Amino acid sequence: MFNSISLKYDLINQMMTFNMDKKWRQIVFKIAIKDDPKNIIDIATGTGDIALCFAQENLQVVGIDNASQMLDIARQKSVKFENIQFQMEDAEEMSFEDNLFDVATVGFGVRNFENLHQGLLEIKRVLKPGKKLVILETAVPSFFLFRLGYFIYTKLFIPLIGKIFANNQKAYNYLSSSAEQFPHGRKFQLILEEAGFENVSIKILSLGIVNIYSATKPQ
């Protein structure tokens, strides 16, 4: 599905979020660099925007995804950087050795994993002990008026944009319904804890339409 929307993915993201997606990714980046990481992985990197935040600051980063055409776009956007590498990998079964990375980021990726628990265990495996996972993911606002607006927006506007600009209403129907159904807030915190992460914190952004979760692999 992501291969089929890869060419229009960035444009539609900007339109759907009124360009707020850039700001959200920058916040992920700022949280991720707090502990001065040297070896960084951006999982489900897609067209590479989170990975590019690190590369632009001269940090070494690898972006992985299982959609080759998303990675093609990521590579085109990053030709001038030598410190960024994109690799075709399944997040649920990566080829990296244990305890390799100083930080892992995932932007709008975990809700697309086939087996979320397995994906989180795998991320924990490749992280060094004591290091952080930072996840940017959709959420549903808790205040009822915002929630009402959110549902109107995701049920009508997003599929319409997908139909007009990506010629793929089905993909954008999926993206909005998965956003609606995906566990967020305290529920997702419990999922992270079940996978063995600790010190989970949640940052609620943009009236509650997205959250950033930070969690640590135990020492």
Ligand X SMILES: C[S@@+](CC[C@H](N)C(=O)[O-])C[C@H]1O[C@@H](n2cnc3c(N)ncnc32)[C@H](O)[C@@H]1O
Using rule CB under 6 A, residue 54 touches ligand X: no
Query: Under a CB-based contact definition with an 8 Å cutoff, are residues 100 and 39 in contact?
Result: yes
Query: Under a CB-based contact definition with an 8 Å cutoff, are residues 199 and 215 in contact?
Result: yes
Using rule CB under 6 A, residue 44 touches ligand X: yes
Find the shortest distance in angstroms from Cβ 219 to ligand X: 27
Which stretches within the chain are classed as H helix?
A: 2-17, 20-32, 49-56, 68-77, 116-126, 144-152, 158-165, 169-181, 186-194
C-alpha dihedral, 164 to 176 to 133 to 96, nearest 10°: -60
Using rule CB under 6 A, residue 159 touches ligand X: no
Residue 61: CB partners within 8 Å, gap ≥ 6? 40, 41, 42, 51, 54, 55, 83, 84, 85
Looking at beta carbons only, is 116 or 192 nearer to ligand X?
A: 116
What's the token pair of residue 27?
Answer: 């916040």
Looking at beta carbons only, is 4 or 60 nearer to ligand X?
A: 4
**Residue span binding ligand X (CB under 6 A) among the ranges 76-84, 104-112, 120-128, 186-194:** 104-112
First and final CA of the chain: distance in angstroms? Answer: 38
Residue type, position 157, single letter = F
Using rule CB under 6 A, residue 4 touches ligand X: no
Furthest C-alpha separation in the chain: 49
Question: Which residues in the 13-42 window bind ligand X by CB under 6 A?
Answer: none
Using rule CB under 6 A, residue 213 touches ligand X: no
Using rule CB under 6 A, residue 141 touches ligand X: no
Which residue from 4, 20, 92, 96 is in contact with ligand X, where contact means CB under 6 A?
92
Using rule CB under 6 A, residue 2 touches ligand X: yes
Which residue from 5, 55, 65, 133 is in contact with ligand X, where contact means CB under 6 A?
65
Looking at beta carbons only, is 13 or 218 nearer to ligand X?
A: 13
Query: Under a CB-based contact definition with an 8 Å cutoff, are residues 197 and 186 in contact?
Result: no
Which residue from 29, 86, 101, 113 is in contact with ligand X, where contact means CB under 6 A?
113
Q: How many residues bind ligand X (CB under 6 A)?
A: 18
Find the shortest distance in angstroms from Cβ 214 to ligand X: 16
Binding site for ligand X (CB under 6 A): 2, 44-46, 49-50, 65-67, 70, 90-92, 107-109, 112-113
